């Protein structure tokens, strides 16, 4: 009899638990099914989103090619508002920068590049924006700003550009040092060694012995 009461109590306790936790249990099942069957839907959604961003980006390029700045501005805003998690907003800004530079609107280009550098989630795009911003700032005669933008970043492309900015600033010795730093690296990806050597010679400098070892 006691065993029967014990089992009956267990059943009642189970019923009570189910009653109290039914919503939670059903919710858990729903979440489980969503996780199981929602992956394909999520992938499809992200693909549609990416394609939509690509289409808008192409439309913006076409607008810029027609000098339709009003249309390009509208599409640019759409890309940032609706496709912010895709890289197309940043790519659109970089395309707009080229349009501005070709039109001589360097201040506008610098402002847009600064925005990309601050907001982008893509480290590679950040590097592109940083280097282009430094070039634009140097073209504006803001050499110290350009050097500040380059910062302490090292590598063939950074050191080469740093040398260019220093040369434009009039500091030939520092420019030669920067260019020799490029030649001293084991690899000079993204730069032309012969052009670097020509820059050094044009600046009245000398290719350092440590860098000459890689000269064919």
> What is the DSSP secondary structure assignment for residue 204, as one 8-state letter?
T
Residue partners of 81: CB distance under 8 A and separation at least 6: none
Structure tokens at 1: 């009899």
Q: pTM score, two decimals?
A: 0.73
pLDDT in tens, the chain (216 residues): 444 344 455 445 544 544 554 444 444 444 444 444 455 554 554 556 556 788 888 999 999 999 999 999 999 999 888 887 778 889 899 999 999 999 999 999 999 999 999 989 899 999 999 999 999 999 999 999 999 999 999 999 999 999 999 999 999 999 999 999 999 988 778 888 899 999 999 999 999 855 554 444
Q: What share of the chain is helix, strand, coil (3-state, %, to 5)?
A: 80, 0, 20
Domain boundaries, the chain: 63-143, 154-216
- Rounded to whole angstroms, the Cα distance separating 60 from 74 reads 9
């Amino acid at each position: 009899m006691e065993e029967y009461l014990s089992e009956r109590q267990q059943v009642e306790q189970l019923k009570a638990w189910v009653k109290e936790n039914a919503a939670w249990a059903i919710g858990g099942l729903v979440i489980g099914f969503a996780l199981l069957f929602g992956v394909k839907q999520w992938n499809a959604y992200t693909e549609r989103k990416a394609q939509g961003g690509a289409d808008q980006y192409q439309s913006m390029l076409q607008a810029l090619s027609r000098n339709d700045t009003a249309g390009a501005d509208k599409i640019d805003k759409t890309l940032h508002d609706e496709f912010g998690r895709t890289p197309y907003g940043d790519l659109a800004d970089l395309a707009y920068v080229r349009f501005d530079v070709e039109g001589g609107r360097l201040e506008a280009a610098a402002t847009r590049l600064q925005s990309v550098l601050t907001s982008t989630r893509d480290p590679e795009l950040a590097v592109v924006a940083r280097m282009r911003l430094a070039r634009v700032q140097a073209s504006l005669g803001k050499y110290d700003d350009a050097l500040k933008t380059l910062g302490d970043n090292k590598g063939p492309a950074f050191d080469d550009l740093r040398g260019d900015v220093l040369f434009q600033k009039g500091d030939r010795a520092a420019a030669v040092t920067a260019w020799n730093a490029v030649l001293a690296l084991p690899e000079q990806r993204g730069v032309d060694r012969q052009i670097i050597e020509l820059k050094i010679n044009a600046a009245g400098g000398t290719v350092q012995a440590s860098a000459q070892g890689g000269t064919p």
